[in-house]
Structure 1
Amino acid sequence: MEEKSVFESFELEVKDEIKGYLSEISKWSYFLSIMGFIGVGLMVLAGIFVGFFSGLNNLAGSSNTLYNLGYSMGIGLFYIVLGLIYLFPVLYLFRFSKRVKSALKLNSNEDFRIAFLNLKSHYKFMGIFVIVIISIYVLILIGAMGTAFFN
């Protein structure tokens, strides 16, 4: 005999009050995603600017031109890569916002499902990103302590 999960027989009821909350959430998430797209664009432009123009400036008047050029290009590339990494959670948030608006307007369960799939992806990406950043900080701390200990 199969045992049914509690959630198999449970149907979620979305009342007008909750629809109002979701409508407000979609507006704020849309705003934040647009700000995120602008931020990503500025990061990429800053990376291009730092990599290209600082590299040209270093070529003009320094004795260590290749080192400075590589350093400038590395910093520029770092900004571009960070911008592209940050593009994914912003895109998930934007898709969530658009799908919630569509689900509320059309009363579509499929749009509602896809909206929350994108929200799940947004939070999953951000959670993994935070874990990676904390891990990098821990490794840097261990390396710094090891360097200090052995010097």
Structure 2
Amino acid sequence: MDYKSPFESEQSSQFDNFELHVNAEAQSFLRETAKWATFLSILGFIGLGFMLLGGIFMMALGSSLATAGSPMSGVVVGLIYLIMAGLYFFPILYLNRFASKIKDALNSNRTDILTEAFGNLKSHYKFVGIATIVGIALFILFFIIGIVAAMGAAAGAY
């Protein structure tokens, strides 16, 4: 006699055939979400443009910043701006694609496009989540390095 788990009942096979239907209220929420996502992605791209211009400007200043008493040259600061702009590009792009695909899916009533839209939203949040984890880890690392450096400087002062 084979043992069957309660999770392997006929009910689980009914859920395999379950289809999600998006009612009018949910469609309205998705349309409004798409508008806000479009707005935020446009602002993101504008900010990205300013960041790129700032990076190029800092690199153009180059060595003049190093002589002004700054510990880092303009080239280093400019490169940091450009790297950060490159990192910010992807979540903004995913958000823009999400907004565009949601509008297309609702206008054409196609589930496959809706699935692509949510795939882009997933990618957006995944990227932002990983970047947040990396940022927190770097913050903790630099905090520990700062404490160790301060203790070393204090020990060397005596």
TM over 0.5: yes
Distance in 2 of aligned mates of 1:37 and 1:5: 45
Q: 2:62 aligns with which of 38, 55, 61?
A: 55
Displacement of 1:58: 5.1
Displacement of 1:9: 3.5
Displacement of 1:57: 3.9
User: Could you say which structure has the larger radius of gyration?
Assistant: 2
Gap change, CA 1:135 and 1:99, over 3 Å in 2: same
Tell me what 1:123 maps to: 125
Q: 2:52 aligns with which of 27, 32, 44?
A: 44
Number of aligned residue pairs: give it.
145
Letter aligned with residue 32 of structure 2: E
Tell me what 1:134 maps to: 136
The CA deviation string for residues 27-67 of structure 1, in whole angstroms up to 9 with x for no partner, is 00001001111111110110000111x226459xx499xx9
Which secondary structure does the structure 2 equivalent of 1:123 belong to?
A: helix
Gap change, CA 1:6 and 1:57, over 3 Å in 2: farther
1:21 is aligned to 2:29:
yes
Shifted more, 6-15 versus 99-108: the winner is: 6-15
Distance in 1 of aligned mates of 2:151 and 2:63: 40
Distance in 2 of aligned mates of 1:45 and 1:107: 41
With structure 1 as the length reference, what TM-score do the two structures score? 0.87
Letter aligned with residue 99 of structure 1: K
Letter aligned with residue 133 of structure 1: G
Question: Sequence identity of aligned pairs in percent?
Answer: 41
Q: Which runs of 5+ in 1 are unaligned?
A: none
Cα RMSD after superposing both structures = 2.4
Q: Which runs of 5+ in 2 are unaligned?
A: 154-158
Distance in 2 of aligned mates of 1:63 and 1:112: 54
Distance in 2 of aligned mates of 1:51 and 1:119: 34
Tell me what 2:75 maps to: 73
